[in-house]
């Protein structure tokens, strides 16, 4: 595929004139029919990596994705970019017979370039039998970390993908994409999809504009949070809490102190959730106090701080959640309150789970303890966790954390946290 064609297609289908990061190399790898593995942080532009080659090739690309909402979103935006309604479809259990027939027709007629399926739908005999008879350009496995028990979102259905892909067609190229790849998860994905030979493209996970800070969590955490928010008056921020109860309590404490804060958690009814989310996006509220239910698909570019009232259960979660700050490249202060008691609490939550899961959960938590208690650069720690070497002297954002900026305070903080 000539260089010129790829750029022309990028312009034609998406209206973009440039690729982001490693996109061009990934697109070429897919167009050449190679198994391909893509590791890019959230917002890196993974979708385009498979959408563009799918639009440029004959046949239909099958895209496996774990969330129906995400699939619908992508299909809608692809349709908006095209004059052809059938260019993209979702195949799932909510379709009636007529709708399924319509999807099948579009695929058979070569109209559909991208077919989104949930992994559990792909196990349906009827669909496998149909897809076997069609021209499939490649299979893209989005959020591929769902394959791994070491990932933050393990889904057993993802485990069977390789055998299903083989049944659909033996030599179909496979593309795995994820934003969460510790070396262990990465290994798991490649092994499970049986593609040790895959062309691997890994973008840096460094977010140089984010400032990382851990403070000991004391009884005065409410006052500490309120003071921080007041010092950042008028700026957008997210405060993550572990429990719904704590979300409500803290949101109220902030409101009482004159801060425009709204709560967000899965226990609120849908209407209230949408309202609070919109208030935050429209800046009628400065702060959203939330459980981890908040964030999936939220793309507010100017979130200036993310506070963790409770330390998350893994470095991946911490990275994802703090990653919602400073998307526009501007200031992003990531402040987490840490107490070893919270680690014990998280350990306790896991005690009802299967032993294998507990062991993994424990190992992930130990990394969090290491991170919270370290006196080395937080950025170096995070990047090392993701298998990336970072040099504070030469690396972008090398001084952007509490340990680097105020090296002495560390021991005090550590002792406090252990009390
Ligand atoms: P990811 O799946 O890696 O989190 P997305 O595929 O959702 O990221 O893309 C994030 C954003 O980047 C989207 O708004 C998308 O339109 C935009 N984007 C992707 N590629 C380009 C590009 N080449 N030029 C400009 N914007 C891009
Ligand atoms: Mg994505």
Among protein residues, the one whose CA lies closest to atom 17 of ligand 1? 45
pLDDT of residue 417: 54
pLDDT confidence tier of residue 2, bands split at 50, 70 and 90: low
Q: Which residues contact 85 (CB under 8 A, 6 or more apart)?
A: 79
Quote the ipTM score: 0.99
Question: Which tens digits make up the pLDDT trace of 195-234?
Answer: 999 999 999 999 999 999 999 999 999 999 999 999 999 9
pLDDT of residue 20: 95
* Substitution candidate for ligand 1 out of 48, 64, 329 with most atoms within 8 A of CB: 48
Q: Does the pLDDT value for residue 298 go beyond 60?
A: yes
pLDDT confidence tier of residue 27, bands split at 50, 70 and 90: very high
Are residues 76 and 152 in contact, defined by beta-carbon separation less than 8 angstroms?
no
Of 409 and 181, the structure prediction assigns the larger pLDDT to 181
Residue 177 Cα, ligand 2 centroid: separation in angstroms? Answer: 8
Q: Does the pLDDT value for residue 138 go beyond 50?
A: yes
DSSP letters spanning 262-323:
EEE-TTS-HHHHHHHHHHHHTTS-SEEEE-TTS-TT---TTEEEEEESS--SSHHHHHHHHT
Average pLDDT along the chain: 93
Q: Ligand 1 atom closest to Cα of 47?
A: 6
Residues with CB under 6 A from ligand 1: 16, 18-20, 23, 40, 42-48
Would you tell me the crossing angle of helices 355-373 and 410-418 to the nearest 10 degrees?
140
Residue 47 Cα, ligand 1 centroid: separation in angstroms? Answer: 7
Ligand nearest to the CA of 142: 2
Which of 314, 309, 364 has its CA nearest to residue 339? 309
Residue 45 Cα, ligand 2 centroid: separation in angstroms? Answer: 7
pLDDT confidence tier of residue 277, bands split at 50, 70 and 90: very high
pTM listed for this prediction: 0.83
pLDDT of residue 295: 77
Which of 319, 307, 306 has its CA nearest to residue 388? 319
pLDDT confidence tier of residue 3, bands split at 50, 70 and 90: low
- In the numeric block, the tokens 């379709």 are attached to 95
Q: How many CA atoms lie within 13 A of 359 on its CB side?
A: 4
pLDDT of residue 180: 80
* Substitution candidate for ligand 1 out of 6, 13, 47 with most atoms within 8 A of CB: 47
pLDDT of residue 335: 98
- Residue 406 sits at φ, ψ, to 5 deg, of -130, 70
pLDDT of residue 153: 82
Q: Does the pLDDT value for residue 409 go beyond 60?
A: no
CB-CB neighbours of 384 under 10 Å? 13
pLDDT confidence tier of residue 1, bands split at 50, 70 and 90: low
Q: Within 209-256, where are the H helices?
A: 221-231, 244-256
Q: What is the mean pLDDT of residues 358-374?
A: 96
Residue 417 Cα, ligand 2 centroid: separation in angstroms? Answer: 36
Range scoring the smallest mean pLDDT among 53-67, 127-141, 179-193, 325-339? 179-193
Chain-centroid distance of CA 363 in Å reads 21
CB-CB neighbours of 219 under 10 Å? 7
Residue 23 Cα, ligand 1 centroid: separation in angstroms? Answer: 10
Q: Does the pLDDT value for residue 408 go beyond 80?
A: no
Q: Ligand 1 atom closest to Cα of 299?
A: 14
Q: Which residues contact 82 (CB under 8 A, 6 or more apart)?
A: 13, 88
pLDDT confidence tier of residue 419, bands split at 50, 70 and 90: very low
């Amino acid at each position: 595929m000539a260089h010129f064609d790829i750029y022309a297609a990028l312009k034609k289908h998406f209206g973009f004139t440039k690729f982001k990061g490693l996109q061009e190399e990934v697109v070429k790898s897919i167009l050449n029919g190679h198994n391909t593995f893509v590791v890019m942080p959230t917002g890196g532009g993974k979708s385009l990596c498979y959408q563009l080659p799918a639009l440029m090739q004959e046949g239909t690309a099958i895209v496996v994705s774990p969330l129906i909402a995400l699939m619908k979103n992508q299909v809608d935006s692809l349709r908006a970019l095209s004059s052809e309604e059938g260019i993209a479809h979702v195949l799932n259990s909510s379709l009636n017979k007529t709708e399924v027939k319509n999807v099948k027709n579009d695929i058979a007629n070569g109209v559909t370039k991208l077919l989104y399926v949930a992994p559990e739908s792909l196990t349906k005999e009827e669909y496998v039998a149909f897809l076997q008879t069609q021209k499939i350009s490649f299979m893209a496995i989005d959020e591929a970390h769902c394959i791994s028990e070491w990932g933050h979102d393990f889904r057993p259905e993802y485990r069977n993908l390789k055998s299903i892909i083989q049944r659909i067609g033996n030599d179909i190229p496979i593309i795995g994409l994820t934003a969460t790849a510790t070396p262990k998860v990465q290994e798991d994905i490649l092994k499970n999809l049986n593609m040790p030979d895959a062309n691997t493209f890994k973008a840096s996970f460094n977010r140089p504009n984010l400032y990382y800070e851990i403070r000991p969590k004391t009884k005065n955490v409410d006052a500490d949070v309120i003071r921080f928010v007041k010092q950042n008056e008028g700026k957008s921020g997210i405060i993550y809490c572990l429990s719904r109860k704590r979300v409500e309590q803290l949101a109220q404490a902030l409101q009482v102190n004159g801060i425009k804060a709204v709560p967000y958690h899965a226990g609120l009814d849908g209407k209230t959730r949408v309202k609070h989310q919109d208030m935050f996006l429209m800046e009628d509220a400065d702060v959203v106090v939330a459980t981890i239910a908040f964030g999936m698909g939220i793309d507010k570019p100017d979130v200036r701080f993310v506070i963790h009232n409770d330390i998350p259960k893994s470095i991946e979660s911490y990275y994802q959640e703090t990653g919602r700050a400073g998307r526009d490249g501007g200031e992003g202060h990531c402040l987490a309150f840490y107490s070893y008691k919270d680690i014990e609490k998280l350990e306790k939550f896991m005690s009802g789970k299967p032993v294998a899961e507990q062991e993994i959960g424990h190992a992930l938590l130990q990394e969090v303890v290491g991170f919270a208690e370290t006196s080395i650069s937080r950025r170096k720690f995070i990047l090392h966790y993701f298998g990336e070497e970072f040099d504070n002297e030469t690396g972008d954002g090398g001084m952007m954390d509490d340990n680097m900026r105020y090296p002495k305070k560390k021991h005090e903080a550590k002792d406090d946290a252990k009390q």
